[in-house]
């Protein structure tokens, strides 16, 4: 659980992700609209998809992934933080995103960002009496779409280099198809059960950011059918979130006004770079960076107390991981064997 896993070189992927984040947040920040940059950053996260595929394949298929991400954000925004509609839509987004990501073998980060995007959009567009920011859903969706377009341009820009185009031709393009094998179906069933339970539980407990519970469930269970791998992932996510929440508190003080928005843009880009550099080798270490990255994107413009936000993130993540583990144990019991 502690030893890093073997990982292919990820420097190019990390640089690309950092550039997409820096441009998406930095350009609006330079114009004095860091708020728009943070809204657009949810779309910029799409630059992380299909990173193991050829550029030619990404040119064709990344827009499909981005449309799915934007659809999830639109669905979340449409709920406007309604305490009944929001958890239902979030669970449906989680289920649909997992079915599509597993069935098409899109690879990491899979269903994670659609669920995160839907949850953040729901809160941003929610009425103040529901704990939301009251933003216009079209503004939230439009900024996310702009971020997605910029991410696409960053991904395909290297194709202007003849040497890269020649190397890229040697990488085969996998056929686009939908297929759920036995392992994939098992993952989907687990997520269906766990996402529904997590959404209902978050609503019943009145959690301010209940989507974090569903995000944790998806992150743990979408990794594959192996229980041991999912269990380790739950431990990594919980422990990494605890440390990462502390990092968020420190960084929130560093980038708080009157610090220029460009400083926040650079911090986000560095966090994105570090995350992509280590995420395959050690998921727990990546969570130390992912947690402040996600919290700064979602909360930098809010008036919330960083310590309170960090504590809620740790609690919600622990609840989500616990739900995922209960589903894994229940799945084992249904098979007729006692849990190991």
User: Does pLDDT of 186 surpass 70?
Assistant: yes
Asked whether residue 5 is assigned to any structural domain, the reply reads no
Asked whether residue 311 is assigned to any structural domain, the reply reads yes
Burial 6-15 (b: 16+ CB within 10 A, else e): eeeebeebbb
pLDDT band at 303 (very low <50, low <70, confident <90, very high): low
Our count of domains for the chain comes to 1
Nearest by Cα to 236 from 290, 289, 284: 284
pLDDT band at 52 (very low <50, low <70, confident <90, very high): confident
Asked whether residue 300 is assigned to any structural domain, the reply reads yes
CA distance linking residue 20 with residue 27, whole number of Å: 11
Asked whether residue 2 is assigned to any structural domain, the reply reads no
Q: 204: buried, middle or exposed (CB in 10 Å: 19+, 13-18, 0-12)?
A: exposed
Could you tell me the residue range of the domain that residue 310 belongs to? Answer: 11-168+179-334
Position with higher pLDDT, 171 vs 211:
211
Asked whether residue 339 is assigned to any structural domain, the reply reads no
Asked whether residue 215 is assigned to any structural domain, the reply reads yes
pLDDT band at 337 (very low <50, low <70, confident <90, very high): low
Query: Is 181 in contact with 193 (CB distance < 8 Å)?
Result: no
Asked whether residue 48 is assigned to any structural domain, the reply reads yes
pLDDT value of position 223: 84
Asked whether residue 134 is assigned to any structural domain, the reply reads yes
Q: What is the pTM of this model?
A: 0.91
């Amino acid at each position: 659980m502690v030893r890093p896993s073997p990982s292919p070189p990820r420097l190019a992927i990390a640089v690309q992700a950092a550039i997409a984040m820096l441009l998406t947040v930095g350009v609006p920040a330079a114009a004095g609209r860091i708020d728009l940059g943070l809204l657009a950053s949810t779309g910029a996260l799409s630059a992380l998809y299909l990173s193991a595929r050829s550029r030619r394949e990404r040119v064709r298929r990344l827009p499909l992934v981005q449309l799915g991400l934007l659809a999830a954000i639109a669905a979340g925004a449409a709920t406007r933080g309604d305490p009944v509609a929001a958890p239902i839509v979030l669970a449906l987004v989680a289920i649909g995103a997992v079915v599509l990501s597993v069935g098409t073998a899109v690879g990491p980060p899979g269903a994670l960002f659609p669920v995160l995007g839907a949850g953040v959009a729901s809160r941003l567009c929610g009425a103040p009496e529901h704990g939301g920011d009251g933003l216009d859903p079209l503004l939230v969706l439009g900024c996310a779409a702009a971020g997605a377009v910029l991410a696409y341009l960053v991904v395909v820009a290297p194709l202007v280099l003849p040497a890269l185009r020649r190397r890229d031709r040697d990488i085969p393009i996998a056929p686009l198809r939908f297929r759920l094998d036995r392992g994939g179906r098992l993952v989907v069933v687990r997520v269906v059960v766990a996402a529904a339970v997590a959404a209902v539980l978050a609503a019943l407990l009145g959690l301010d950011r209940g989507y974090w519970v569903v995000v944790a469930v998806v992150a743990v269970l979408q990794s594959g059918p192996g229980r041991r791998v999912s269990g380790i992932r739950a431990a990594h996510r919980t422990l990494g979130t605890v440390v990462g929440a502390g990092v968020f508190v420190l960084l929130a003080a560093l980038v708080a006004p009157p610090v220029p928005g460009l400083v926040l843009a650079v911090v986000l880009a560095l966090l994105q770079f570090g995350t992509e550099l280590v995420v395959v080798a050690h998921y727990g270490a990546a969570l130390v960076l992912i947690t402040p990255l996600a919290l700064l994107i979602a909360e930098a413009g809010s008036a919330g107390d960083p310590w309170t936000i960090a504590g809620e993130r740790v609690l919600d993540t622990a609840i989500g991981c616990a739900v995922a583990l209960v589903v894994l144990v229940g799945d084992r019991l249904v098979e007729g064997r006692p849990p190991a």
